[in-house]
Amino acid sequence: MRKTVIILLSLLAFLPVRADEGMWLPALISQRIADMQAKGFRLTAEDIYSVNQASLKDAVVLFGSGCTAELVSDEGLLFTNHHCGYSFIQKHSSVEYDYLKDGFWALTRNEELPNPGLTVKFLERMEDVTAQVLKGYNPKKMDEEARLNIVRKNSEKLREAAVKDGNGLKASVEALYYGNQYFLFVFREYRDVRLVGAPPSSIGKFGGETDNWMWPRHTGDFSIFRIYAGKDNLPADYSEDNVPYRPKKSLKISLAGVREGDFTFVYGCPGSTREYVHSAEVDYIANVSDPEKIALRTTRLDIMKKYMSQSQAVRIQYSSKYAGVANAWKKWQGEAKGIRKMNTVAVKRRFEKDFEEWARGTQYEGITGQLANLYAARNPLYRAAEYYNETVRSIEKLQMASGRKVDPKDYYQPIDEETFVAMMKAFDGALDDSYKPEYFIEGRKKYADMERWKDAVFADSLEAKALATSLDEFYTKNLIPQVNALNRSINLANRTYMKAQMDYLRDKDFYPDANLTLRVAYGHVEGYSPSDAIYYKPVSTLKGIIEKDDPDIFDYNIPQELRDVYAAGGHDSQPVCFLATNHTSGGNSGSPVLNADGNLIGINFDRVWEGTMSDIVFDPEFCRNISIDVRYIVFIIKEIGHADYLLDEMTFVQ
């Protein structure tokens, strides 16, 4: 009997711990710390976030406008993703010095390359300012418009007070839970950030679009920068006299490796999620928006691909544009599929029904019906706006005619002409005439045929300008104001519905939807089974790169040097990437992935395709974040970059 109990208990101990949904505010992490510790974390809430002493938050920065990066030395050295540094690496590249192709390694501090416009932001503190932001607001007397004005004015005051001491201080007030709560975020922004190292794209972007959003993955998606400061260690404009920034905290690098089941957490800036929305919004996303946008982008990608495969020059011109279009295209496919697989619309409808039963007679009664009506009114308009974005606004000729910059160096007219015909046809076919400007309807009559219309637009810049202007004006002056007005009403209703859900599910811990503010997500290393009879192990290795290697396939053509290093032997089990159950989103790219002791084990860069619905609904069975193993970064720095001196300034632990 006792033996059975012991066997049962030890079996239980080896059952995988439930994966963790949630991206938590660092300042409130004490509410989660017991759970984190129960799952293996060995540090305290103060170690994660403190305003009184150096903590892990001081080693994490918002990199540029939409990525995360982390400090890995006491001399301001930063790790982020290759795809986050990409545009800066590209700007320094030329035919003679192609750093995208060949990689870049500064041999001395003097060779580190400045990047005008690139900034990093440290979070100094965050605090709940709900009462101050809503001071003067009277819900009984004021509408949403008046409330917005008060929020704006009060926030402005708070921001001004917060940055008074100057020196790179920046502040923002962010709404959480649809404005049920407001937080002030105070940052210190550094504006001299230099490029230190990047592997060749054949490593940093290995697998390209083919492997993007997928597992097994073997992308060496990292790049290295350094923050510079004035002699006082404070932010300064670029100057030769600036010195490497001395951080309050930098991360130690763990060489101990990852094993399935290990505790991990991700500290970074997820951009946007919608976990608490009404079934009508999810229905629209999964059954209208995603499928329609996917179809339109498939057409555009096919056109680009056709010309790119015919010419190396065109491939270079369009590879970055192609990547941009393909990235969301692929994500939406996983997202729509995941939402359907999880039956989220039906599950939410059921939830709304139960909720309304509970809400009867309360202030919340009828809120879900109200939301359903608002979405029914908004969705056709929103669909039209999305169509404009995906069709009209994908035509570079019309973009240029409306005065937006298109780099002529990266422009190939035959692609644009074919895109024009396909996208204008789709636009015309999908939308009711009430969503089109007069000028368009006349032009359709006049030319009768899209090919002829195209010839006219590409031959005559006045024709292009007239068409572009009429479409642009209809979009910005007619459509968007209507969408915005309805979105304001939806936001107001969502504020009530959010609060209602929190009242209804008293025992549930709610995390606020992502909004590019700093968050902590935690989970553990774990593989997954994407479909029947397949199980994906959580760690990939160099052996897998060699298996994929193919000089004839652009995405899989590795540098000869990597082949040679491998052939020399001993690197079969060199780890490359790993999977974990942390809840991440776009913006978490470049985020440090830390172990139970708060040491760096990887850099987050992606999610698996089958789990991309996590922005709307998290499924512990399929949602996995993908990280590059920090030991692969060390390996590439040594074996390919021959930049061992960079390792000298890092601290390694077992």
Is position 290 annotated as part of the catalytic site? no
Q: Is 268 in the site for ligand ASP (CB under 6 A)?
A: no
Q: Is 379 in the site for ligand ASP (CB under 6 A)?
A: no
Backbone angles phi, psi at 369, to 5 degrees: -65, -40
The DSSP code for 170 is E
Candidates 135-143, 147-155, 517-525, 587-595: pick the segment binding ligand ASP (CB under 6 A): 587-595
**Whether 279 contacts 349, CB under 8 Å:** yes
What is the amino acid identity at position 571? H
CA distance 98 to 91: 10
Q: Which of 115, 589, 599, 627 binds ligand ASP (CB under 6 A)?
A: 589
Q: Is 607 in the site for ligand ASP (CB under 6 A)?
A: yes
Q: Is 588 in the site for ligand ASP (CB under 6 A)?
A: yes
Query: Considering 73, 155, 585, 589, which one is annotated as catalytic?
Result: 589
Q: Which of 57, 83, 249, 321 binds ligand ARG (CB under 6 A)?
A: 83
Q: Which residues in 504-571 belong to E strands, given as ranges? A: 519-524, 539-541
Q: Using CB distances below 5 to 8 A depending on partner kind, what does residue 587 bind out of ligand ASP, ligand ARG, none?
A: ligand ASP
Q: Is 202 in the site for ligand ARG (CB under 6 A)?
A: no
Alpha carbon separation from 616 to 367, 513, 585 (Å, rounded): 20, 10, 10
Give the distance, in angstroms, between the CA of residue 470 and the centroid of all CA atoms in the same chain: 33
Q: Is 625 in the site for ligand ARG (CB under 6 A)?
A: no
The DSSP code for 219 is -
Q: Using CB distances below 5 to 8 A depending on partner kind, what does residue 223 bind out of ligand ARG, ligand ASP, none?
A: none
The DSSP code for 476 is I
SS3 per residue for 114-145 = ECCCCCEEEEEEEEECHHHHCCCCCCCCCCHH
Query: Considering 83, 218, 278, 583, which one is annotated as catalytic?
Result: 83
CA distance 581 to 17: 10
Q: Which of 394, 540, 585, 595 binds ligand ASP (CB under 6 A)?
A: 585
CA distance 82 to 225: 11
DSSP 385-441: HHHHHHTGGG-HHHHHHTT----GGG--HHHHHHHHHHHHHHHHHHS-GGGS-HHHH
Binders in 601-620 for ligand ARG, by CB under 6 A: 606
Q: How many of the chain's residues bind ligand ASP (CB under 6 A)?
A: 9
Q: Is 584 in the site for ligand ASP (CB under 6 A)?
A: yes
Of 323 and 421, nearer to ligand ARG (C-beta) is 323
Q: Which of 200, 587, 592, 602 binds ligand ASP (CB under 6 A)?
A: 587
Candidates 18-26, 71-79, 600-608, 644-652: pick the segment binding ligand ASP (CB under 6 A): 600-608
Q: Is 208 in the site for ligand ARG (CB under 6 A)?
A: yes
Q: Is 606 in the site for ligand ASP (CB under 6 A)?
A: yes
Is position 83 annotated as part of the catalytic site? yes
Is position 30 annotated as part of the catalytic site? no
**Whether 88 contacts 197, CB under 8 Å:** no
Contacting positions for ligand ARG (CB under 6 A): 83, 208-209, 212-213, 323, 327, 586, 589, 606
Contacting positions for ligand ASP (CB under 6 A): 584-589, 605-607
**What amino acid positions are annotated as catalytic residues?**
83, 221, 589
